[in-house]
Amino acid sequence: MRIMCVMLALMAIAAMVHAAEKTGEPAKAAGVKIVILGDSTVADYATTSTTRGWGQMIGEGFLPNVTIVNLAANGRSAKSFIKEKR
């Protein structure tokens, strides 16, 4: 359920960015940064690995002015990131 909420939020952000690009509003120049926290299902893996986290792939679905910062780590969760003050 949490992943579904996160995905819906990201799609909403993407829609807003796309609308801003069409209208030429300042959001186009400013860009958008999305920071992702999570565990191994979200984490980045080496390009030689057969394993991929969704955080590693999600940037492909956004416009060029959207930057994805994937801070996910194996063995960590959003809760542990807050507890560790990362």
Assign 3-class secondary structure to 21-46: HHHCCCHHHHCEEEEECCCCCCCCCC
Q: How much is the pTM?
A: 0.58
Per residue in 10-41, is it b (16+ CB within 10 Å) or e — as a string? beeebeebeebeeeeeeeeeeebebebbbbee
* 19, pLDDT greater than 80: no
What does the angle CA 69 – CA 62 – CA 5 come to, to the nearest 5 degrees? 70
- pLDDT 10s digits, 20-44: 666 665 545 568 888 888 888 888 9
* 53, pLDDT greater than 60: yes
